[in-house]
Structure formats: structure tokens, C-alpha cells
Chains A and B, each alone.
Chain A
């Protein structure tokens, strides 16, 4: 059965994030106007990715340091082209082990979060917030080129880790591909495989409307336009362990449920990233 390989320091797996950095990402979630001062999709997504990287680092932290269970890449695509999106010391690096991420944030910000004061109220608490990836948005949406870039990267990575738990690619975008039809490029990416199964490609479409999100569909029934159907067709069926995770959170799943959310709001984005990056079999 696929998707059972042990994830260890000698047999790491990888996550690759493809991030839309087109001009429309400068709009807020849910509408093109939004409330004044509201965070843009690009800013919210940058926060979500930085938080995710932080969580990945913490997941891999042990008393003796960081264990490199994963290698991680963040590829941005937008008006400035397609390429690595890390900032600071990791700038221009395509795939890096988690320990390198842990020790090389661009900066560590002080942020404030509200926590329970134990007496029915909330108090503000200062937290450290490491940043590796900054918000950006301009120009078009070269999604097809992003898939081609991902395929090149992962072809090399899998050849170096032939028995790995298959790489998980999470593509996050608010619009349609502006360079070419991405279907073939996505199919090529999904056909890459290690001895433990094919690369998993999940798509997260960010909302530009007030319409309700369509999460983890089993078929195209509720998808009304060509773009959502295209993204559905380019999304992998969830492996069994992810189906179980979703099911335990009350999400209805079947054996044909796909890793796809259409019209995602921020809550949906964070849950998707959490489910998509939870380990199955860490050693």
C-alpha cells in the first residue's frame, strides 16, 4: 500500500508550496474592496505560511536539536516570474532541510496575541514570530510555469530520495493561470513517484467573493465553473491517513475525496495547511 513509508532523518520527505504572488493577491479575502485596513490575501497567506513553517520546525524539534524529517521549498509565481520565495539567508534556495529553516529566519518579529487570563477575560501576550516569507503581489499568474518548475525540482529530489514518503505539493492561488493551461503540467507533476507512491498535489483556491467555500469535494457536482473543475481535476485523492484525520474532525470523506478547497477563507486555509502537513509516520 502507498503512503506508508517511514519519515526519518535518513529517509526524509518534503513539502513544496507554490504561492500565487499576482496582483490580485493585494486584495482582501472575500471581496475586491474589503474593509479599510483589512489584511490582503498576500499578507494573510504570508502569515499562514510563516506560522506553518514555524509549526513544522517545532514538530521536528527534539531535546537534542532539530531532526531533518522534512525538506521544504516555497516557490512564488507572479509578475516577477517563478522562483524561490524565501527571504533573508535562504534567499534563492529551492529546497532546504527543516534545520536550516529553523536557524535562518529573515527576522523574528514581536507580535501580540490574546490569551485566556483564567478569569473569563483576555490578556495580551507577546510572542516571537519568525518570518521567512514576505507578502508580495503584482502582475499575472504563471501557474503553469510554477508546476513545470515544481516538476523539475521534485524529479531531482525524488532521484536523491527514491524511497521517501511522497512529496506533498500545496498550490495556493486566487485566480486562473495566465500563462498556459496548467492541466498537463499538473498531471506531469502528479505522475512523479517514489517507491511509496505518487506525488500529492493539493490545490487551495482563495476566495475573492462572499460565496461559501467548497471543501474537500468527492466529485464535480457542486463545482459550477470551468476553473473550479480544472483545479479539481488537478488535485490528488487524499491518502487514507488524511481521510481519517479529516473524518475525525467531522468532515465527510469518501475514498474519492480530493485535496482541494474552492473559495477558501482564512480559516479554511489554515485548516487545509494543517491537514496537508500533518505527519503520518515519523520516526
Chain B
């Protein structure tokens, strides 16, 4: 199985690159690999929490490398507690970091159907596209499904959110030439809204070849105000991971 991919991202408008709190794995702008199995993921660190970017990064790496959540939590705690922090930063650490994640697992099966699995907690999404037709969007499939309180995974074990309970899983079959798009919530919500307006979103995403293409698209859509007064795309960190698979 040959997998090729491209990754593009940008922070919220007004924030610096260092303040970007999404994460993706693989983290190369372009990648290509031959394997019988392939895993990739996108995560979105919650703005209101501290060290959320680090937590998002650990989650995507952990998903792809099959690291137990307990070990990721240990790593996050060890990393953030190295510094001497003021009282408010210490208090904030006690509340933990939160992130949403969507991961894709592709498998080649000799003589059988080729299977993909999507696992997601929260509102990062995976689109499955075949010949410019969107076959599915998971875990959310309509723009109205997005809200301000998605399920999130916490860096603390004793948080009220149960990561295992809130994980949703989708399985399906992939065919030669299929594409998968892993998106953080703002661009996923925008894409589904455009899809609902009968626009060819799959082609728009497919045609993003360089970082400048994504930057231009996001900039335009953030500044386009809809009839309800809201921007076409929410001002949030944006991550787009595009994967194409061939047997």
C-alpha cells in the first residue's frame, strides 16, 4: 500500500505561529510511504486550557505510535512541571489541558477488502473522498453539529470527561485512489456548511497544493460575513491533513 500526504496549518488570525495549538501526525508538509498499515491524526488543543498545544502534539503522536493514554498523561505532566511557575500557572496546571482528536488507520488486506478505521473524540473530522465525491464525514456530518462544548480528552486522569466513553469509531472500505482529509473543527465546520450549499468542497480541498493556497482560502472565508453576522469560517487554528492511498 502506498500512502502520500500533505499537511497545511495556520494559527488564529492575530496569533503568532508559536501560539498555534493544533497538532498533526505526520508533521511533514509532504510525505510518502509504503507500508501495510498507516496511522495519522489531527488534534485541536482547547484555547481555554494551558499547555494545550503540547497535549495535542502528544495525543497525535500517541495515537499513531499506539502509546497508552496513561503514558501520554505522565509525559505531559513531566514536561509542564519542569518550570518554576507563578501561582496562576500552577493553578491552571491542576485543571489540565484538553484536546479533541481524530485519527485514521489504513490497513491493506491481502485478497480481502481494504479497511480503514476512524477514531475520534470531539469535533476534529475525517472526510472520506472518492473521485471528488465526499462519501462520509466522521464523527460530525453536518455544520450544525458543531458547538462550543465538544468532547475532549484531558491530560489528567481524574477529570470528569471519560476519554474511552466519548471516543467514537467508524469503519469502512477504502479503494485505490481514495483520499482522506483530517481537519480541525473550524475548517471542518466550514467545509460541511459549503457542502450543504451544494458546493464541491472535495475539489476545493483536493486543489490545495501549497501552504499559500490554504492561507488564501482561510483568510477569505474568515473575512466573509454571512447573513447571520458570523464569519464563514470561525477564527480558530486551522489544520488540514490530506492523505491519498493506493494499493
B89 on the interface (CB 8 Å rule)? yes
Q: Which residues of A contact B (CB under 8 A)?
A: 1, 4, 6, 8-10, 54, 57-59, 61-64, 66, 102-103, 108, 128, 130, 279, 282-283
Other 6 A-B pairs with CB < 8 A, given A8-B14, A54-B91, A63-B54: A1-B228, A4-B230, A10-B14, A54-B88, A63-B53, A283-B12
Q: List B contacts of A8 (CB < 8 A).
A: 14
Which residues between 93 and 122 of chain B lie within 8 Å of chain A, taking CB atoms?
95
Q: Which residues of B contact A9 (CB under 8 A)?
A: 14
- Determine if A57 and B15 form an interchain contact, defined as CB atoms under 8 angstroms apart: no
Chain B 161-184 against A: per-residue CB contact (8 Å), 1 yes, 0 no?
000000000000000000000000
By the criterion CB–CB under 8 Å, are A63 and B88 in contact?
no
Other-chain contact of A283, B50, B54, B235 (Cβ < 8 Å): B235
Whether B230 pairs with A108 at a CB distance below 8 angstroms is: no
How distant is the Cα of A8 from the Cα of B154 in the complex, in angstroms? 24
Q: B87's contact among A59, A108, A282, by CB below 8 Å, is which?
A: A108
Name 14 interchain pairs, CB-CB below 8 A, sorted by A.
A1-B228, A6-B235, A8-B14, A9-B14, A57-B88, A58-B88, A58-B95, A63-B50, A63-B53, A108-B87, A128-B87, A282-B48, A283-B14, A283-B235
**CB of B246, distance to nearest CB on chain A (Å):** 40
B1-38 interface code vs A (CB 8 A; 1 in, 0 out) = 00000000000101100110000000000000000000
Chain B, residue nearest A2 (CB): B229
Residues from 76 to 96 in B contacting A, C-beta threshold 8 Å = 80, 86-89, 91-92, 95
Q: Are B86 and A102 in contact (CB under 8 A)?
A: yes
Bound Cα distance A9, B89 (Å): 18
Contact between B47 and A282, CB atoms less than 8 A apart: yes
Q: Which of B42-66 contact A (CB under 8 A)?
A: 47-48, 50-51, 53-54
In the complex where A279-B48, A282-B48, A283-B15 touch, is A58 in contact with B230 (Cβ < 8 A)? Answer: no
Tell me the nearest residue of chain A to B237, going by C-beta: A283
Contact of B48 among A54, A57, A59 (CB under 8 A): A59
Collect the chain A residues with CB atoms within 8 Å of residue B12's CB.
Answer: 283
Tell which of B51, B54, B92, B229 touches A58, judged by Cβ atoms closer than 8 Å: B92
Contacts of A62 in B (CB 8 A): 50
B235 touches A58 (CB 8 A): no
> Which of A63, A102, A103 lies at the interface centre, i.e. has the most chain B CB atoms within 10 A of its CB?
A63
From 116 to 149 in chain B, residues with beta carbon under 8 angstroms from any chain A beta carbon are none
B47 touches A66 (CB 8 A): no
A128 to B88, CA, bound (A): 10
Tell me, in angstroms, the Cα distance from A108 to B90 when the chains sit together.
14
Q: Using CB atoms, name the residue of chain B closest to A1.
A: B229
Which residues of B209-247 are within 8 A (CB) of A?
A: 228-230, 235
Smallest CB-CB A-B distances: 9 pairs: A61-B92, A1-B229, A61-B88, A63-B51, A57-B88, A58-B91, A58-B92, A102-B88, A63-B50
Q: With the chains together, A103 CA to B18 CA distance in Å?
A: 24
Chain A residues in 8 Å Cβ range of B48:
59, 279, 282
> With the chains together, A63 CA to B87 CA distance in Å?
13
Contacts of A4 in B (CB 8 A): 229-230
> How far, in whole Å, are A54 and B91 apart by their CA atoms in the complex?
9
Are A66 and B14 touching (Cβ within 8 A)? no
